[in-house]
Amino acid sequence: MQRAKDTFYIAVRDRIASLNPARLVLLRGLSRPGVLVEENELAVGFWPTDAFRLRWTELSLGTDNEAPLAALRCEIVYATAGSAGNGGMDRGRMISAMDAELAAAIQQSPQNAAKQDFTAATGPVTLKSNIFWGGLTFGPLNINGEQLERTATVDVYSYQEAGDQ
């Protein structure tokens, strides 16, 4: 399942980066595209705003086939306090822009990607199967102090191959 999670993250990261190259996050002194995977990051006191955080919350495995189908639920959490130049008064517009970016990235065709193994020292290795995902479901908009926050969910599917964990 780790390969499916990694592949989905890379697909979303690359799509967001192509849609909005300015969506960057600064973590541990490095600037990178504004998509993070919570389980892959060091513990922090607070998460950066204006970035998408992927969180894997549910897993189910089918047993009907020779290659079981894994279904993984991904929550995508994001927040904004608006821009400093506008005193945060544009936070509604900014969360709407993030909603649109995420929808475009997830619903862009194709809604699949070749599954890859990213553990090789020589670079990613393309495997025999694909991952694929369903539609995006947006949760309610929440107000947390000066920030607007939302969680969206998407189900990601992957046939298990030899060596998948």
What is the dihedral angle through the alpha carbons of 18, 91, 139, 32, rounded to the nearest 10 degrees? 30
Is residue 151 included in any domain, yes or no? yes
Total structural domains in the chain? Answer: 1
Is residue 164 included in any domain, yes or no? no
What pTM value is reported for the model?
0.92
Contacts for 158 with CB less than 8 Å, ≥ 6 apart: 1, 3, 4, 7, 69, 70, 72, 115, 129, 130, 131, 132, 164
Query: What is the predicted pLDDT for the residue at 56?
Result: 96
Residue 81: which CATH number?
A: 3.30.2000
Query: What is the predicted pLDDT for the residue at 164?
Result: 67
Is residue 75 included in any domain, yes or no? yes
Distance (Å, whole) CA 129 – CA 117: 11
Is residue 165 included in any domain, yes or no? no
Q: Domain range for residue 86?
A: 2-159
For the chain, 165 residues long, give each residue's pLDDT as a single digit of tens.
899 999 999 999 999 999 999 999 998 889 999 999 999 888 777 889 999 999 999 988 887 777 789 999 999 999 999 988 888 899 999 999 999 999 999 999 999 999 998 887 888 888 889 999 999 999 999 999 999 999 999 999 999 877 666
Query: What is the predicted pLDDT for the residue at 29?
Result: 87
